[in-house]
Amino acid sequence: MRALRAWVVRLRGVLTPARRDREFDAELESHLQLHIDDNIQAGMTPVEARRQALIKLGGIEPARQTQRERRGIPLLELLLQDLRGGIRALRSGTSWTAIVMLALAIGLTTAMFAIVDALILRPVPFRDADRLAQIAMFDQHGTRPTRWPVVDAWKRSGRFEAVESVTYGTALVGTDVGPIVSTSAFVTAGMFDLLGVKPVRGRAFNPDEAGAQGSGVIISADLWRRAFNGDPGIIGRAIPFDRGAQVVIGVMPAGFRFPEWDTEVWQPLDHEVKTRVTWPTTYARFSTALPRADVLKAVEEIAHQADATTNGQYVRPSVIAGWSNSQYSERALPLLAGGVMLVFVTLCANAGGLLLARFNTRRRQFALCAALGASRRRLMTQAFVESAVLGTAGAAIGVGLASQLVVAARRLLPPAFLERSLHPLALDMTVLVVAAGLAVLATLPVGLLPAWVATRLDVNGLLRLVERGGTETRAARLLTRAFIVTQVGFGCTLLVGTGLLVRSFLNLASIDRGFDSRNLTIAQVSVDNKLVPEPNARRAVFTQITEVLERLPGVIQVAWSHGAPTANAGLQFGSDWLPDMPGASPIRLEVNALYVSGDFFRLYGIEVLRGRAVEHADGPGGGVVVDERMAAALWPGLEAVGRSFTWGKTRLEVVGVARTTRRLVMDRDRDYPTLYWAFEPEDARSATASLRCAATCPSDGAIRKQLLSVGQAVRVSAVKNIDAAYDADLAEPRLTASVAIVFAVIAVLAAAGGLFSILSHAVGRRRREFGIRSALGASTRAIGALVLREGVAVALVGLAIGSVGAWFLARALASVQYGVTVSDPISWAAVVGVLALTTLVAAWRPTRAAMRVNPVELLKEE
């Protein structure tokens, strides 16, 4: 208790040092006077009396010192003193530059972490997520169909705690703001229970609900708020759906995203869906009681018994990904995260260089302090506390920056990149902890190394140092060089990466698609086969649709197909194709199959090079058109027209060879050859209408309205402009390239700034030397060359190290490259050019300053 009281009093002592100093001085003075009085009474002379009193006291200064130590808390006082010093140091421009560098480093890295965390790192937001898995049959080729008999057998077996299934779809929902197309999912009754999520309003599906027609739907909180204005009476309301009116029975919590990031409507997976979709996506929850390996072995056998076609296949559980996104983002994001680490290190090296330069100019002050008895540890603490103040300021600004970046990211990037996580994106506690960690990570080397190097004072050199006004030690020079080489090297690495990404993007954007994409809009249309089941009637409806579309202003031509030559449209499958040559063996080939009407080729401007286009009369089993690539694969070097091949049991005759079209897929080898089948819309459940327009196509809304005017049976699920869609497909590569450009620009500017600052410091330090050289007759050009050489040497070392890094980076980037090789000469040339220019620009001013040193003025100064 007493000790605690004493500490509190001492803490107060820390805060009011001046007043307490004055009071103690008064007490000492009174003590001396009393003692002197006594001594004089004892017969001493006044001088002797004072001398004796002082001796007995042990000196005034030591008394003051011991008093001070007891009065406050010495360590705390020193720390406060250092802190004050650090805050005072904030007044200098160098400090602010360093803070900006640290803030940029911490801000960028934190924001990137928030994104990576939301998309990749965080487990899916469901109860006991580690026991959840998506389960399916696999063989060496990948996923195999896991059909209902297998799923039902698993469910019955009781080996899992729960087994539930999902199928995907889109639903046309009649809302208060008009009809909208929503991503929907059909789920088995226990799905939400399996995930451990309950509706916030209403209820989940009952087991008996599956199978009853016109049963309820569950909607997302977002859809409820956005499209039904948060109607409090939503539960029990009947809403028009493409499958007929449905009653809303529940609203899921905000932020619930499953099975896809944009699923808004959940319907019961009933008997009708079950007959239509034979291959659901199945999820299971492992029980804690049974070992997983045993469970998997058991359910594998169950699968083999339930469905003989699964023989030889095995069961594989896959983690439910927190991220249902495009392959491109999945590959690009870790690379960008790596890129941000390079930027982080570059900026930290820059800040470190700045601090080192500052401490170096203060070596004179450090030397004086050391001469007056300050220990090295004391000096280092002082220097480090100063750096820590900068680090803290940098972290604070950095977190602010990160939150702004995240807000911007949320607003700018959604469809392409960020929103596709099962998590919403936000700056939360974890992210803040990471930011703090980054700040420490940045401050430790950036603060400690310069502090350590700058306070390395050897006693012999001390006096000389003070006399000459500061010079650089070997360690300081080495560290400065290391900092600058790091910046130039990482800048170079980032530049190469950026060059490759930008070139890939340009290649993608300028890809020859093999058809005329201008003024082209496609609409996904279906005619309800319950309302119009009869083929002739269906044909009539489609003819009517064609006519009304052609009546739209500006529309020249309409053609029907199933699938379109865009990135994700068309049916891709791998199969064995047997060409009609004697002794030929089946050729395994992945193709992109399009079902097209006869005028499709003319509308898209896809040239039929030889033979003719498919016609309705060709039917589904007869004539097909293959593209150049497929022709070359099946009959290398031979004319394909007139030949035939066998697919399964069907014999197909090639009536024409079409020019190659290219789709926008990052992996060139996944841009499969195209096979065109004859098709008329009335045969299919849904079809794509392609509209060729004279100039600009009518708006998507106008097209949709025109389509719906045909009748109740017509459903429109999507209308999109081909160029706009293509643009959207390019969004991710464009975004990645832009982010990479930002990173590279920051890194190169940092490197240039760092180079400029060390050269300037070097010139400032060597003014004397330059003066003497010029007095001895060195030409100004020779002196300029001296400075330039130093800059170029450092840049070259950086370039060499950076090239090695860039080589590795380029290999990592291979998966997101399109049409560029790792050693793309243009990218490399650009890097060398940019770095050479940077070095020259950075060295220009210091070099001129060195050339202008006037020996006469220099002498005067001394």
Partner 1 sequence: MSGKSDVWQGTLALMVLKTLETMGPLHGYGIARRIEQTSGDRLVLNYGTLYPALLKLEQEGYLASEWGVSENNRKAKYYKLTRAGRKQVATETREWEEATAILARFLAGEKS
Closest approach, Cβ 368 to partner 1, in A, equals 28
Of residues 690, 665, 735, 695, the one with CA closest to residue 513: 665
Task: Single out the residue of 27, 139, 231, 550 in contact with partner 1 (rule: CB under 8 A).
Answer: 27
Q: What is the CA radius of gyration of the chain?
A: 38
Dist. CA 618–CA 598, nearest whole Å: 10
Nearer to partner 1, 32 or 337 (CB): 32
Dist. CA 134–CA 163, nearest whole Å: 10
Closest approach, Cβ 76 to partner 1, in A, equals 15
Quick one: tokens of 25?
């001085």
Q: SS3 for 627?
A: strand
Q: Please provide the DSSP assignment of 703-731 as one string.
A: HHHHHHTT-TTEEEEEEEEHHHHHHHHHH
By CB under 8 A, which span of 61-69, 226-234, 389-397, 551-559 interacts with partner 1?
61-69
Residue 531 touches partner 1, criterion: CB under 8 A: no
Of residues 746, 111, 729, 109, the one with CA closest to residue 409: 111
Task: Single out the residue of 19, 25, 30, 651 in contact with partner 1 (rule: CB under 8 A).
Answer: 30
Q: For 801, how many CA atoms within 13 A lie in the half-sphere containing its CB?
A: 16
Nearer to partner 1, 39 or 325 (CB): 39
Residue 17 touches partner 1, criterion: CB under 8 A: no
Residue 39 touches partner 1, criterion: CB under 8 A: no
Between CA 220 and CA 86, with CA 430 as vertex, the angle to 5 degrees is 140
**Helical ranges in 510-566 per DSSP H:** 535-551
What angle do helix axes 722-765 and 474-509 make, rounded to 10 degrees?
A: 160
Dist. CA 333–CA 418, nearest whole Å: 10
Closest approach, Cβ 372 to partner 1, in A, equals 22
Q: How far is CA 775 from CA 259, 787, 855, in A?
A: 79, 17, 6
Of residues 558, 551, 545, 553, the one with CA closest to residue 697: 553
Task: Single out the residue of 14, 17, 35, 506 in contact with partner 1 (rule: CB under 8 A).
Answer: 35
Closest approach, Cβ 20 to partner 1, in A, equals 10
Contact (Cβ atoms closer than 8 angstroms) between residue 831 and residue 501? no
Q: SS3 for 444?
A: helix
Residue 56 touches partner 1, criterion: CB under 8 A: yes
Nearer to partner 1, 39 or 313 (CB): 39
Contact (Cβ atoms closer than 8 angstroms) between residue 362 and residue 765? no
Residue 423 touches partner 1, criterion: CB under 8 A: no
Closest approach, Cβ 369 to partner 1, in A, equals 26
By CB under 8 A, which span of 4-12, 435-443, 456-464, 498-506 interacts with partner 1?
4-12
676 burial type by CB count under 10 A (0-12 exposed, 13-18 middle, 19+ buried): buried
Q: For 386, how many CA atoms within 13 A lie in the half-sphere containing its CB?
A: 29
Dist. CA 653–CA 170, nearest whole Å: 36
* Cβ neighbour number for residue 266 with a 10 Å cutoff: 28
Closest approach, Cβ 3 to partner 1, in A, equals 7
Quick one: tokens of 214?
């016109």
Positions 68 through 97 that interact with partner 1 (CB under 8 A): 69-71
Nearer to partner 1, 37 or 590 (CB): 37
Nearer to partner 1, 10 or 765 (CB): 10
Nearer to partner 1, 38 or 639 (CB): 38
Closest approach, Cβ 7 to partner 1, in A, equals 8
Residue 2 touches partner 1, criterion: CB under 8 A: yes
Q: Residue 300 — φ and ψ, nearest 5°? A: -65, -45
By CB under 8 A, which span of 62-70, 173-181, 204-212, 731-739 interacts with partner 1?
62-70
Task: Please provide the size of the chain in residues.
Answer: 862
One character per residue 265-284, x = contact with partner 1 (rule: CB under 8 A) = --------------------
Nearer to partner 1, 30 or 45 (CB): 30
Task: Single out the residue of 19, 22, 34, 861 in contact with partner 1 (rule: CB under 8 A).
Answer: 34
Nearer to partner 1, 27 or 727 (CB): 27
Residue 212 touches partner 1, criterion: CB under 8 A: no
CA 632, 635, 638, 643 torsion: positive or negative? Answer: negative
Closest approach, Cβ 23 to partner 1, in A, equals 8
Task: Single out the residue of 16, 22, 33, 84 in contact with partner 1 (rule: CB under 8 A).
Answer: 33
Task: Single out the residue of 6, 319, 433, 841 in contact with partner 1 (rule: CB under 8 A).
Answer: 6
Q: SS3 for 649?
A: coil
Beta-strand pair 314-318/132-139: antiparallel
Closest approach, Cβ 30 to partner 1, in A, equals 5
Nearer to partner 1, 69 or 667 (CB): 69
Nearer to partner 1, 9 or 87 (CB): 9
Between CA 592 and CA 595, with CA 593 as vertex, the angle to 5 degrees is 150
Range list of β-strands (E), 262-352: 263-268, 281-285, 314-318
Contact (Cβ atoms closer than 8 angstroms) between residue 624 and residue 618? yes
Residue 15 touches partner 1, criterion: CB under 8 A: no
* Cβ neighbour number for residue 4 with a 10 Å cutoff: 8
Instruction: Please count the residues of this chain forming the interface with partner 1, following the rule CB under 8 A.
Output: 28
Residue 59 touches partner 1, criterion: CB under 8 A: yes
Residue 42 touches partner 1, criterion: CB under 8 A: no
Task: Single out the residue of 31, 225, 612, 715 in contact with partner 1 (rule: CB under 8 A).
Answer: 31
Closest approach, Cβ 77 to partner 1, in A, equals 15
Task: Single out the residue of 3, 18, 289, 372 in contact with partner 1 (rule: CB under 8 A).
Answer: 3
Closest approach, Cβ 52 to partner 1, in A, equals 11
Nearer to partner 1, 56 or 88 (CB): 56
Quick one: tokens of 632?
């070359």
By CB under 8 A, which span of 59-67, 268-276, 301-309, 768-776 interacts with partner 1?
59-67
- Sequence-distant (6+) residues with CB within 8 A of 325 are 119, 261, 417, 420, 421
Nearer to partner 1, 26 or 556 (CB): 26
Residue 51 touches partner 1, criterion: CB under 8 A: no
Nearer to partner 1, 5 or 860 (CB): 5
By CB under 8 A, which span of 53-61, 117-125, 244-252, 709-717 interacts with partner 1?
53-61
Nearer to partner 1, 2 or 649 (CB): 2
Q: Is the peptide bond before 259 cis (omega within 30 degrees of 0)?
A: yes
Task: Single out the residue of 14, 17, 21, 24 in contact with partner 1 (rule: CB under 8 A).
Answer: 24
Dist. CA 108–CA 747, nearest whole Å: 12
Range list of β-strands (E), 70-195: 132-139, 142-144, 162-175, 178-187
Residues near partner 1 (CB under 8 A) are 2-3, 5-6, 9-10, 24, 26-28, 30-31, 33-35, 37-38, 56-59, 62-63, 66-67, 69-71
